[in-house]
Chain A
């Protein structure tokens, strides 16, 4: 897997990352949603050398699945989490 360096902190990630937004329900319909295939896709990506898995709290259930599935191998990986919903929440404190 090819990698690239993001920013200046030495963070190196796979040149393509896996986006998980479509896994729960933002695209398609409940009829086409397939959690088993989604998790298999995350695992296949990690096995292929993908070290950037993009998810967010507001993707709900799939976020925790992504964390578990991407952690099934002891490889370095980066789990990017879209924090925009928190940034816009004036009550949020990290």
Chain B
């Protein structure tokens, strides 16, 4: 349709950085997002460990691999990388160097198949605003 896609939350609010362990403060967006609660978070962090294993095998960080996968999904996609730290910015920009093989891509397709991440992105009230 000729519509470009700006993929926000490419790191799923830090989840895919591999640096989260829960324990968000009350004013943190993630303290209220289903994806970051209890058993959902436990499940999702296990998925991130799988991501970390694949990334380590090809010499990158989980965040770099996650960004590279988003960019590999189409030439009409750009990825937003949210960070407020120069060190993370530098890490994330190196995602542009990642070359995914078809096998890597297939493995990631399984790991992040629809439904593979537990919990919605937003709470019910916010989902009603975006999912319509």
Co-complex (A, B):
yes
Using CB atoms and an 8 Å cutoff, list the residues of chain A in contact with chain B: 1-2, 4-8, 11, 13-23, 25-30, 33-34, 37-38, 40-41, 44-45, 48, 50, 52, 54, 80, 84, 88
- Check if B4 sits within 8 Å of A41, measured CB to CB: no
CB atoms of B92 and A16 under 8 A apart: yes
* Residues of the B chain whose Cβ atoms lie less than 8 Å from the Cβ of A28: 25, 28
B13 touches A4 (CB 8 A): no
| Residue in A7, A19, A41 whose CB lies within 8 Å of B2 | A7
Contacts of B13 in A (CB 8 A): 27
The residue that A38 contacts in the complex, of B14, B27, B29, B84, with Cβ under 8 A, is B84
B86 touches A16 (CB 8 A): no
- In contact, A41 and B6 (Cβ under 8 angstroms): no
Contact (A54, B6) CB under 8 Å given A16-B67, A16-B78, A29-B27: yes
Interface residues of B (CB under 8 A from A): 2-4, 6, 8-9, 13-14, 25, 27-30, 67, 71, 75-86, 89-90, 92-93, 95-96, 129
**Contacts A29-B28, A37-B85, A38-B84 given; does A11 touch B4 at CB 8 Å:** yes
How far is the CB of B28 from the nearest CB of chain A, in Å?
6
In Å, the complex CA distance between A14 and B71 comes to 12
A19 to chain B, nearest CB (A): 3
A16-B80, A19-B82 are contacts. A27–B71 as well, Cβ < 8 Å? no
Cα of A81 to Cα of B78 in the assembled complex, Å:
15
Our pick among A13, A16, A25, A54 for the contact of B93 (Cβ within 8 Å) is A16
